[in-house]
A and B are shown apart, each in its own frame.
Chain A
Amino acid sequence: MTKWLPLLVLGCCISAQADLVPVDDAALGEVQGAGLGVVFENFAFEAGESVSAGNRLDISGITNSSGQPVVLGVSQFYIAGSGSNQGANVIGNPVNLGRLAYPFNLELVNGDVLGISDKAIFEFTAPSRLIGQSSGNDSMLVLATENRTERRFPGLPVATGSRVDRVTGIDTSVLTSREGERPDMGVRFDVNVSGTTTQSLQSHITGLAVDGSYVRLWGDNNEMIGNLGIKAVADSLTFFACNEDGNNCGDNVVFTDFIIESELGSGEDQPVTFEVDASGNFTVEVGSIAGKSNSFYQNYYNNGPRTDVYIGDVTVAGQSFGSTTISNLQIQYLKATSRDL
C-alpha cells in the first residue's frame, strides 16, 4: 500500500502548491522513462438513468439565439460489454478495457525518444497499435492509390506523385484490443428549451476501440503545448430520435465500420496549444508549418500527422447510402478562437 502512496498524493501536490517555480529544461531532460499502466477489469458504467427518480446529468448555462435558457440533458450514458442491447444490459455485462500486455498508460517520457529534444513529455496513451498485416502500417485502412494526371492549368506540366484513390479494406490486425475487449457505449440526450422538450436523440456505439490514441503534453516558453492522436474504430454507430418521453422512436440511421484516425500536431515543429485570452475567449491552435526546410516538408507530407475518416456504409430503414472517405487530410495550420454570439 505504502508503495502506491506517492501516486495518490500526486493529485494533492498539484492543487496545493500555489506559488510554483518553473524547473529549467536541463533538469527535465534528465527524466527517465517510467510509467503507470491502467487496466479496467470487468468494468461497466451507467449514469443519468432513472430521470423520473430525480437523476440528472445535464449542461445548462446555454441559451438559444433569442436568449431563452436551453438545457442539454443526458438521460443515459453507459459503457458496457458487447450485447448491451442499446443500454438495456449494462450492470452485469462488464468488459475489460486495456490489456495487461497493452494497458492504458500514463508515463513521463524522455522527449528525445519522440523527437522532442531535451523535454520531459507527459504522455497518456490508450492500448497501443501493431503494424497491420495488410495495411503495412499502424492504420486500419487498406488504401489503393492512383497517380495524379491533372495539371494546375492547361499547358502547364502534369502534377507528380500519387494519392489515395479509395479504401479497399479494413485491417483489424492493427488493434491490440481483442473482440471481447471492445465495449458498447451510448448516450441518450434531449434538448430542453424554456422548459419544453421536443424530442430526444440516442446514439449507440458497438465494438469500440481507441487503440493508438495518445495525448502528449510538455512545457515550452512558459506555455503548455501538446500533440494529440485520436484513433477510434466502431463496428457500428446507431442514431435515432424518439419523442420527448423516449418512446415512439424513429428509423435507425446506422454507420457501419466507422473509423477515425486523427493526429494533430507534430512534435515541436507543429505544436498544438490551448490558450485563454484576457477577454475570456479561448484559442485552439495547430501551429503553422510555414517557413520550414524542404526536408521537413518532404517528411511532413509523406509521414507527418494526418487524419483519415472512413464510414463503410450508412443505412437508413434498409436503404444504403454507401461509403464515405476523407483520406490523408493534413492540417498545415488551424486557429479557432471563440467569440460571443
Chain B
Amino acid sequence: MKAVVVGIALTLLAAHTHAKLEPIADEELSQYTGQAFLQIDNNNVGNMDFTRFTFGMDVETLLTSDLVELGRYERSGEPAGSSDIRINDFALGSINADGSINPFKIRDPFVELAYETVGSGANAQENLVGVRLGFGEAFGKLTGNIEYLTGNIEVEIYGKGSYLASQMSCSWWDLVCAGAKGLVGGTWANDDFSAQAVLINPSNGEPDGIRATHVGMQDGQTLSIPNGSGFTNFLLGIFSSSNCELLNVQTCFPLSIYRTLDIGNRDTGAPAQGMFMSFQTKTVTWYDGGNGTNATQGAFMNIPNGGIRTSFQEAFDGTERVRTKFLDPYYD
C-alpha cells in the first residue's frame, strides 16, 4: 500500500498541481469576465421549437475513417442495401507534400434539436423530430469515395469559355450548337462562366437529393457570365440544361469522381457557412440566420451555396484524391 500512497502523490507533484486558497482584493474584481463559451438559444417558428447549443471553439483536425454510413435501411424507390449517406475512406484535412498537416478547420460547432408541437392547449404534445450537428464555419478538404449522399449540396462551377467550348461536340447539322460553340470559344473565350450544380437524378436531370449518386445542372438551369452584360446573359439564357445536357455538353457527373472536395473558397480562403449533418424523423426546415433549409426524413448533409466551388475542368474530369495518411493506400 505504501507504494500507492507515495506514488499517487508523486504523480500529482510531477504534474505540478498546485492548489491555493487566497482572499480576493476589491480592485481586482473587475478582471472577472463571463465567457460565452457555450450559448444556448431557443427559437420558435410556427409549430416548431428549436434549441441550439453553440460551442465557442476553433477546431483544427486531420482525421480518417474507413466508413461513414448513416441511415442504412430500405427506402422506397432506392436500391436495396443502400444508405442515406455512405462514404468510404473518408477524411477531413490533408497532408502536404512536405509531410506537414493541412488541417480541416471548424469554427463554432453547434448541436441543435428540433421539436414539433402537435395538438394545442392542454393536450399539446412535444415531439422530438430532428437533431443536427452544424458548423458556424468550415474550411478545408473533405475526401472520400461517395457512394450515396442525401442532402442539399450546392456546387458552384466556374471556368473560361475557351475550356467550355472544347467540351462541346456539335453535330454537323446542328447550326445552333455550332453558333453557340463559336460564341463560347470565340467572343467569350476569356470570360468566366458560371453554373450551379445540385444533387441530381442522372436519368432525367431532375434534382434528387435522396441517396444521390450524381451531381449536375438540373433541367432548365442556364450558364451565366457573372461579369457579363445583360444581353450576354440573355443570349446564354436561351440555352438551358435538359436531361443532363446543355449544347451537347454533359452536365451531370457521378459523385464518385470527386474524390476530394474543397469546403469553402480555396482561392479566397473564405470558409463555408451553414454546413451541417442532421437526422430528421420528418421533413424539418432548419434555420440559419433567417435562411431555411428543408431537410428530408432520415440522415441529411447540407453544404450551402458557395460551400463548394469547382472548375469546369474539375467538373468534367473529377478531382484527385489528396494524401490523408502518412502511409496512404492511395499513394504508397
Contacts and interface: CB of A to CB of B under 8 A. Distances in A.
Nearest to B5: A6
B113 A327 contact: no
A154 B9 contact: no
A50 interface: no
A3 B10 contact: no
A199 B115 contact: yes
A201 B123 CA distance: 17
Interface in B108-130: 108, 113, 115-116, 118, 123-128
B266 interface: no
Contact of A34 (B4, B66, B124, B330): B4
A250 B61 contact: no
Interface in B45-98: 49, 51, 54-74, 83, 88-89, 93, 95
B290 to A, nearest CB: 13
Nearest to A13: B9
Given A63-B39, A329-B64, A241 B5 contact: no
B101 interface: yes
Contacts of B332: 160
A23 B7 contact: no
A333 to B, nearest CB: 4
A159, A239, A281: most-surrounded residue (chain B CB, <10 A):
A159
B35 A250 contact: no
A253 B100 contact: no
A5 B86 CA distance: 56
B54, B58, B320, B329: most-surrounded residue (chain A CB, <10 A):
B329
A153 B58 contact: no
A242 B126 contact: yes
A63 B38 CA distance: 8
A23 B327 CA distance: 39
B54 to A, nearest CB: 6
Interface stretch (B17-25, B170-178, B185-193): B17-25
Interface size range of chain A in the complex: 35 or more
B95 to A, nearest CB: 8
Nearest to B10: A23
A274 to B, nearest CB: 11
A19, A64, A294: most-surrounded residue (chain B CB, <10 A):
A64
A324 B69 contact: yes
Contacts of B14: 22-23, 28, 120, 218-219
B269 interface: no
Interface in A225-255: 239-243, 248-251, 253
A241 to B, nearest CB: 4
Interface stretch (A82-90, A131-139, A162-170, A207-215): A162-170
Contact of B65 (A62, A120, A329): A329
Contacts of A15: 19
A340 B33 CA distance: 10
Interface in A275-317: 280-281, 288-292, 294, 297-298, 301, 314, 316-317
A105 to B, nearest CB: 11
Contact of A331 (B35, B61, B74): B61
B15 interface: yes
A301 B89 CA distance: 13
A241 B116 CA distance: 10
Interface in A128-168: 148, 150-154, 159-161, 163-166
Contact of B17 (A20, A61, A70): A20
A100 interface: no
A336 B58 contact: yes
A17 to B, nearest CB: 8
A22 B13 contact: yes
Contact of B67 (A163, A224, A320): A163
B51, B83, B124: most-surrounded residue (chain A CB, <10 A):
B51
28 contacts: A3-B1, A18-B18, A21-B13, A34-B1, A64-B41, A65-B54, A108-B7, A120-B7, A152-B321, A152-B331, A201-B51, A201-B113, A219-B11, A248-B123, A250-B115, A251-B127, A280-B33, A297-B327, A320-B73, A321-B299, A324-B71, A329-B66, A331-B63, A332-B64, A334-B63, A335-B61, A335-B103, A337-B57
Given A34-B1, A328-B67, 14 more contacts: A18-B18, A31-B3, A120-B7, A150-B259, A153-B318, A219-B16, A241-B127, A248-B123, A290-B99, A322-B72, A323-B69, A329-B63, A338-B55, A339-B37
Those 7 A-B pairs whose CB atoms lie nearest each other, nearest first = A322-B73, A219-B14, A250-B127, A224-B15, A152-B321, A108-B7, A341-B56
Interface of A: 3, 6-7, 9-10, 13-15, 18-23, 27-28, 31-32, 34-36, 61-65, 70, 72, 106-108, 120-122, 148, 150-154, 159-161, 163-166, 191, 193, 198-199, 201, 217-219, 222-224, 239-243, 248-251, 253, 280-281, 288-292, 294, 297-298, 301, 314, 316-317, 319-341
